């Protein structure tokens, strides 16, 4: 009986030991499962945090605008113009390089900075204003796109860039109709209308001989930079251009130079010298006539005027004839003002010559291939 009881007790201890071992194994397995579960949870949790941090960083202004900011800070005008949504309009007398040069003056104003627009920014769209110092020069708009990777991090695509560069310069031009005008080296096109004015006041001196070119006015709008205006005659002779600050007009007068000017001035000096000798009584009317047009009314007036201004003298000498003014209206008409210095030796008194200055303002016209006096302005 005692042996049976001991045997039963030993069997019971063995059973209890086995059960304890199973329980211990179960607990170990359970702990392992928990550890694995917690580890996986933590791994996913940390991945979630990384995704959130990546999404947050991707939405920061310095990351959204990083590429564009580099372009602006490097003053890469080619890249900026390429990215612009609405391209700027350039008139017929400027180029893309002129536009970029103007845009560069804006971007060089000061330090480049990007400012988010709270009013326009949403979860799907971010808007930034770009400043150069205190000058606002551009607006950039970004739309959110998904990158397509497993973490689904958003990518901000630039969808709109507006650069605030507007043409703010308009010019007016005034020049004779036979003078070619050039703006930034390009001849004024037919699309730019030149409005004709009334005939010039000196046309009355040429009536019946030739029609003088009239002055014209023109307007050209939409320049980014102050243009360079030049002019030349039909034969290619440069003509001065004067900018009138009072009304902002580029003015060109009738040309003071032309092909063959020296010969024309020489002839004018000869004609005015003959005129001075005629009115002093030292040149016959027949000799003077060769300088004037046929049946010239001004020559008729001089023939019938009583020339009593000069006392009797022994000798007349032309010491100099200096051109004071010259205007080439066209190939058939020019004006020349000549100051003639005439020395007269009187018949009595001192033999020291008396100096007489004659200012002749003559209008010349070409007849049969030769220059002739059409009129005199007294």
d(CA 56, CA 106): 33
Element spanning 300, H or E: helix 297-303
Query: Phi/psi at 308 (nearest 5 deg)?
Result: -115, 15
Q: Name the helix (H) or strand (E) containing 220.
A: strand 215-223
Asked if 360 and 340 touch (Cβ cutoff 8 Å), the reply is: yes
Q: What distance in Å separates the CA atoms of residue 210 and residue 293, rounded to the nearest whole number? A: 13
* pLDDT value at residue 150: 46
CA geometry: angle at 374 spanning 370 and 378, to 5°? 140
Maximal CA-CA distance, the chain:
193
Q: Tell me: the pLDDT tens digits for 132-182?
A: 999 999 999 999 886 555 456 678 889 999 999 999 999 999 999 999 999
Which whole number is the average pLDDT over 79-83? 95
pLDDT tens-digit series, residues 173-202: 999 999 999 999 999 987 788 999 999 999
CA-to-CA distance for 213 and 96, rounded, in angstroms?
36
pLDDT at 154: 73
Lowest mean pLDDT among 13-27, 72-86, 268-282: 13-27
Higher-confidence position of 238 and 316: 238
- Which pLDDT score is estimated for 366? 95
Percent of the chain exceeding pLDDT 70 equals 81
Q: Is the pLDDT of residue 58 over 60?
A: no
pLDDT in tens, 278-334: 988 888 888 999 999 999 999 888 877 665 556 667 778 889 999 999 999 999 999
pLDDT of residue 45: 53
Name the band, by pLDDT with cuts 50, 70 and 90, for residue 40. low
Q: What is the pTM of this model?
A: 0.74
């Amino acid at each position: 009986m005692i042996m049976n009881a001991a045997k039963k007790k030993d069997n019971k201890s063995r059973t209890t030991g086995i059960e304890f071992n199973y329980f211990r194994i179960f607990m170990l397995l359970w702990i392992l499962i928990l550890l694995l579960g917690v580890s996986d949870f933590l791994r996913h949790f940390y991945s979630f945090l990384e995704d959130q941090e990546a999404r947050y960083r991707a939405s920061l202004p310095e990351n959204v605008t990083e590429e564009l900011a580099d372009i602006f800070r490097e003053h890469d005008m080619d890249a900026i113009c390429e990215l612009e949504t609405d391209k700027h309009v350039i008139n017929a007398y400027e180029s893309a390089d002129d536009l970029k040069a103007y845009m560069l003056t804006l971007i060089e104003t000061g330090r480049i900075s990007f400012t988010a627009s709270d009013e326009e920014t949403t979860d799907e769209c971010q808007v930034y204003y770009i400043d150069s110092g205190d000058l606002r020069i551009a607006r950039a708009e970004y739309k959110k796109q998904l990158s397509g990777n497993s973490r689904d991090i958003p990518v901000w695509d630039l969808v709109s860039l507006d650069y605030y560069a507007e043409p703010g310069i308009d010019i007016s031009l005034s020049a004779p109709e036979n003078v070619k005008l050039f703006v930034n080296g390009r001849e004024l096109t037919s699309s730019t209308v030149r409005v004709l004015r009334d005939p010039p006041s000196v046309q009355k001196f040429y009536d019946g001989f030739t029609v003088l070119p009239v002055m014209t006015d023109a307007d050209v709008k939409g320049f980014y930079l102050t243009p360079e205006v030049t002019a030349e005659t039909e034969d290619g002779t440069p003509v001065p251009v004067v900018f009138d600050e009072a009304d902002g007009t580029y003015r060109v007068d009738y040309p003071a130079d032309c092909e063959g000017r020296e010969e024309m001035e020489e002839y004018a000096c000869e004609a005015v010298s003959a005129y001075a000798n005629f009115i002093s009584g030292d040149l016959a009317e027949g000799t003077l006539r060769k300088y004037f047009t046929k049946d010239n009314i001004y020559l008729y007036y001089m023939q019938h005027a009583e020339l009593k201004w000069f006392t009797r003298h022994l000798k007349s000498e032309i010491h100099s004839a200096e051109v004071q003014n010259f205007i080439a209206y066209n190939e058939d008409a020019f004006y020349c003002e000549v100051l003639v210095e005439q020395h007269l030796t009187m018949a009595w008194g001192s033999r020291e010559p008396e100096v007489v200055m004659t200012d002749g303002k003559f209008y010349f016209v070409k007849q049969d291939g030769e220059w002739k006096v059409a009129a005199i302005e007294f």
